[in-house]
Amino acid sequence: MDDRGHLTTEQRNPQSKRLDRMSTEEAFDLINAEDAGIAAAVADAREEICRAIELVAGAFQAGGGLVYVGAGTSGRLAVLDATECPPTFLSPPSTVQGVIAGGHEALTRSIEGAEDSPLDGAAAIDQRDVGAEDVVFGIATGGTTPFVHGALQRSRQRGAKTVFLGCVPKEQVVDEADVSIRVVTGPEVLTGSTRMKAGTATKMVLNMVTTIAMVRVGKTYENLMVDVNTGANAKLVDRGTRIIQTVSGLSRDESRRLLDNAGGHVKTALVMNAKGVDCETAKCLLEEQGGHVAKVIDRSSIRDAGM
């Protein structure tokens, strides 16, 4: 095992050397102060993050998908973001996938040795039949995870675009991805515990990537979640109903009936109401415009509702 002590994520934070002697309040203030700088570190990587988003949006438009790959905390965050896309954006589970070293069991129990095999990372890519229309997004906050680098190398061989996210500078660990995102959050309060600042930064970046990419391909209307999966639970039925109310100005009961008549699809309901058409016609209009509600709806025919 190579000495990783030079990595930013492995270095000691001088502000927390008295951590074991701090009061609860002092420890809280310290961690809170360290966390306050995470957004600025993410902002410093703006150009690369935006390039990654464009790659992912392009993959979605071409019928491809996004595959996150990580180990430990990075892998769990990858799976979390992927899992939340279908109910939020009504996307097929195959559109955004999360791969964690060690498989499903590693989601709830630490399997640290699983990250050490680049061949296992490559095999995970082969199992998902990754191709030229896909983007593979490797996450290794310390930069060195063999499983992740093996997955990225195999993805390039299969013709996929690749993105790498690390929380160490490029001069400490190199990568060969098409887009290299480095969010340098500095040494952790608890030395080496990248579930802290690096993990928070990772969650922020992944949220941006999928959310903005989904917006780019028509999964929202203004800032409304119009592709919400209303078949998932009562909360999402309520959200879908309220979205229709907000855009159309209809009553809650009218909005719920419209949602039912649209087969539970908020986008279709909005077009039905705005254009005065039936469900099938509304679906055709949406398909003609790539699913973008704003390109179908004549804004002068709907209530602004103060938005």
Active site residues: 84, 115
Strand duo 66-70 + 96-100: pairing: parallel
| Measured CA distances, 264 to 85, 220, 303 (Å) | 18, 16, 22
Single out the residue of 185, 205, 178 nearest to residue 70, CA to CA. Answer: 205
Contact 116, 146 (CB under 8 A): yes
C-alpha–C-alpha distance, residues 144 and 130, integer Å? 22
Distance CA 16, CA 36 (A): 15
What tokens appear for 34 in the block? Answer: 């360290």
- Rounded Cα distance, 62 and 133, in Å: 6
* DSSP strand pairing (135-139 vs 96-100): unpaired
| 84: nearest Cα among 100, 99, 104, 98 | 98
Q: Which amino acid is at 260?
A: D
In the structure encoding, which two tokens stand for residue 61, read together?
Answer: 């438009």
For residue 257, what are the contacts with CB-CB under 8 A and spacing of at least 6?
none
Interhelix angle 24-35/197-216, rounded to 10 degrees, is: 40
The angle formed by the CA atoms of residues 256, 259 and 263, to the nearest 5 degrees, is 140
Residue 13 DSSP class = P
